[in-house]
A = this chain, B = another copy of it.
Amino acid sequence: MDVRRRVGLNLKRFRQEKGLSQEALAFEAKLHRTYLSGVERGVRNPTVTVLEGIAVALGVTSSKLLDEIEEPQQPGA
């Protein structure tokens, strides 16, 4: 899985666990909502500084945003 996709999925999971909207998190992290949305969709390539800002706003460590994600096994794989 592409690292940007991984970051996006982790970010979305943590954001939803915190019960935050994209808009609320973007405000906290001092980012534009459309940029944050792009990070979640895996189409943006954030720097480590941006990643850290998002992590701080979520109350997690930035390394958590890079955690590996277990992909569901494909039938026959």
A residues neighboring B (CB under 8 Å): 3-4, 7, 45-49, 51-52, 61-64, 66-68
Contacts and interface: CB of A to CB of B under 8 A. Distances in A.
Tell me the interface secondary structure of chain A in the complex: helix
Contacts of A52: 3
Contacts of A46: 47-48
B45 A47 contact: yes
The 8 closest A-B pairs by CB, nearest first: A63-B66, A3-B52, A63-B63, A45-B47, A62-B66, A3-B48, A45-B49, A47-B47
Nearest to A45: B47
Contacts of A66: 48, 51, 61-63, 66
A49 B52 CA distance: 15
A51 B52 CA distance: 13
